[in-house]
Each structure stands twice: as structure tokens, then as C-alpha cells.
A and B are shown apart, each in its own frame.
Chain A
């Protein structure tokens, strides 16, 4: 035991150790980076982009649904509405990047206007984030009237963005 430790110390203190470690590390990094590099060459599929966008929107929707379930049934869950609203505000940061790549074909209801009028789209996201933060603050404040109004405003911000940037149900891919 004692002898092994001392041999390690000798190795570490020896001059040849540093280049050896550097060499090993660079070899490892080649091993680690090489496959990542290879996969970056083939871009993720449009289907994957759509799936991520839809999962992100579902996450937002589930939080909105949870807030609705709590409020309309008057469930006693202290802090829950504020928590869900905060999750919705946090998710706002993910929406822009999720819709960076233009994918409008396939099983998606994203309208081309997202990329044609990017400034309006980003503004809609900012409005949504503000509405979600307002609800989080109102729910923490504990005033039911203010919370109710903030929920309505948040729902309106969802609807406002969808009106401009999501195909209506009549044109949805779900009808195909």
C-alpha cells in the first residue's frame, strides 16, 4: 500500500508525467469529440425539431392546464399556482431557440409568419413571459381577484400568439 502510493508520487513528480498525461488526454478527447463531431455533420431531422417544439408547447400547456385545474376547482395547494406560472415564465426563454430553424412542412401547425415577421414573434414571446411573471407575482400576493385577472391575461397572451403564428384547427395537420 505504502509502496504503491510512493510510486505514484514518483510518477507524478517525474518530468515525463506531464507530457504523458497531455498525450493521454488529447487521445481521450479525440475519442470523445470524434463521434460528436460526426453526428453534428448530419443535421437533426425536421421531425425531431417539430417533436421538440411540440413537447415544449405541451409543457407550457400542461402548466396552464394545472393552473386551471387548481383555480376552477379551488384546490388547496399553497404556492402551486405561482410555481406553475414561474415554470411558464422560464419556458418563455426556450421558445425562441425552439423555433430558430424554419420547419413548416410535416406534422406541424407552425405558420411561416414565425420566420417572416420575427420581430412580432419575439414580441409575442416577451408579452407571454411578462404575463406569466405577472401571474406568478399575483399568485404570491394572494389576492384572488388579481390572480384571476392575471390568469385571463396569460390565457389571452397564449391565444394572441397562436392567432398569429399557429394554424387554426380548420387547417391543422391533425385533420389530414
Chain B
């Protein structure tokens, strides 16, 4: 835990350490943070020789502007991460309880070939949710698939993708989740046969199918492509549904994004590689950007199932440049011919 905390503080972006502190009382402190930045920036403009602190803020402002983020609180930045995940929509029991389902309080049945698993409560309720978690607890869960008490999470929770998220984004995401309304609702054990109901077996699964690693920037590609890769592979975790799985339930990375007939809840997840015949080769970048905003396909048809939810609660609320980055990256992955039936 302390090692992870140091990891957070030692992150590359100077704002990260501040994010950790602010995450606790993000709403109020966020405003103070912005006011401080504004004040310091104002002083910097008047002072003859800027201090270290002033330079630090000036750098932050420049970086924020360069990234198109603007000066924001951790909660606001965290909301962007939250939207990029598809609004964590698996943690709301929409099909079961429809729109009446308490947001992010878990209980959604996720059918997999190994059994039915129920999503968890990620509201800031201290007893049944994640309200009592430290930032390090949250980072370890998302990155290592480990609960605060050290037990393994079932990989229906897509930590093999979230492991790529940066320290800054994870801390901001937690700040956003902490700002939401807590809901008291206990988690439910899976309906899965042994050994798939046995958490310890996940240790073996992880040896076969999981590696904790950040996503390094690819220097031969531009910033938009790299942003797109980060969003697709880590935050939006597209591969968790759109990549077929091996017999052990790990992602078959040789068929990255080539579509799966065993998507969550028994859904067909289409091939989203740019293959002309079986993938999205005939979708333009504007087609993809529009689709992620509206859920409308090039032929005017709408989207159903989990994809409709992640667009509605997530991708449609992303800044446009994030949808463009996703589209750019998706059009660049190797095309793989793999027909997933279902009219898509």
C-alpha cells in the first residue's frame, strides 16, 4: 500500500500529488484549487521573477491547455475518465431494474461462460460501497484486481484493461466516484460452479492471462493516436467485449478487437477491426465519431444492448476530441477477418 502511494506521488505529472490530496474532499477543495491557481497565475503575471510554485502552476495551465482539458477540478477530470469507461454502466442494474436501478450500486447479473457474476457497489457508501477506500486501495483494485483485503477479483471486472490507466486518471476517477450519492446495498456472491466461484483460483488465472502494466506512449505515432490507444485499450476497455477469449477466459490478443460471440450477457460483440468485409473497414472516421456520440450507425439504425448503455452513459458525454482519438486508433489496428453474425 505504501509502495503504491509512493507510486502515485512519484507520477510524472506535477498535478498528480495534488490530485491525491484533493480526491478526499474534491467538491469543495476543487474550487479552492482553481481559485489558488487563478490567484497564483495572477501573481505570476505581476511578479518580476516567478517562484517555483508560480512556474509549476504556469506549467500546469500550459499542459492543460495543450491537452484541451482546461483548468478543472479532480472531480471534473474524473468525470471524463468515468465517461471514457462507458459510465461504469455494468455497475448499475439497468436491465433488471430498468431506469429505477440505483446508479452504480451494483447487483447487475453478468452472464459469462463460467457462471453468473454480480457487479459490485461502487458508490461511496462506507460499508457496502467503496467509501472507506484509500486512493491506493482503488488503484490496486483497478490495476492488480485485488480487493483492499487482498482477495482476488473475478476477471469479469475488466482490470486486465484498467491496469493500463495512469495514476492521475485513477485518482481523478476515484474523486469523481467519491462525489456521487452513496447507496447502501450489499454485494452478491456469484452463481458459478466450483472452481469458478473460488477467488483463490484467480491467482492461477492471472498467471496465464494477466500482466499489470501501464500503456507506454508510442513515439512513432502522434498524440491523437496515442490518446486513442490509451482510451480503447485501457479506459474504454473495448477489447473486453470485442476481443474473442481463449478457453481459459483470457483475451485472445492474436485476434485483438475481431469480435466475440460470447460477449457479456450473451451478446454478440461485432468485429471492430478495419476489415472491409467483416469489420468496420467501410466506416469512415466521422461515421465512428458520430456513432460514439449518438449510437446511430451509418445506415441510420440504432444500437441496442450494452453498447447502447455505454454510449448513453459514457462515450456520448466525452469531449469530441476523445471520440476522434478512439476512431483514429480503431481505424489503425490490423484488420482481421472474423464474421460475427447478427446483421452487424
> Which residue numbers of A lie inside 8 Å of B, CB to CB?
60-69, 71-73, 151-152, 155-156, 158-159, 162-163, 166, 168-170, 172, 174-175
Inter-chain contact B343/A72, CB cutoff 8 Å: no
Does B342 belong to the interface (CB within 8 Å)?
yes
The proximity string for B residues 256-296 relative to A, scoring 1 for CB distances below 8 Å and 0 otherwise, is: 00000000001110000000000000000011011001111
Q: Could you tell me if B341 and A159 are in contact, using CB atoms closer than 8 angstroms?
A: no
CB distance from A168 to the nearest CB of B (A): 5
Contacts of B266 in A (CB 8 A): 170
Q: Of B24-32, B44-52, B301-309, which stretch is located at the interface?
A: B301-309
Minimal Cβ-Cβ distance residue in B for A61:
B300
Chain B residues whose C-beta falls within 8 Å of the C-beta of A166 in the assembled complex: 304
Interface residues of B, count at CB 8 A: 27
Q: Are the C-beta atoms of A71 and B344 separated by less than 8 Å?
A: no
Nearest chain-A residue to B293 (Cβ)?
A: A152
Output the nearest chain A residue to B301 by Cβ-Cβ distance. A61
A97 to B286 CA separation, bound complex (whole angstroms)? 36
B interface residues (Cβ-Cβ under 8 A, vs A)? 266-268, 286-287, 289-290, 293-305, 308, 312, 316, 341-344
Q: Is the CB of B303 within 8 A of A170?
A: no
**Chain A contacts for B303, CB-based, 8 A:** 159
A159 to B308 alpha-carbon distance, docked (Å): 8
Smallest CB–CB gap between A135 and chain B, Å? 12
- If A158-B302, A159-B303, A163-B304 touch, whether A170 touches B267 (CB-CB below 8 Å) is yes
| Additional pairs, 10, CB under 8 Å, beyond known A158-B301, A169-B304, A174-B343 | A61-B299, A64-B301, A68-B294, A72-B289, A152-B294, A155-B302, A156-B295, A163-B304, A169-B343, A170-B342
Contact B268 A66 (CB under 8 A): no
Check if A65 sits within 8 Å of B299, measured CB to CB: yes
Q: A155-B294, A155-B295 are in contact. Are A62 and B341 (CB under 8 A)?
A: no
Is the pair B302, A169 in contact by a Cβ cutoff of 8 Å? no
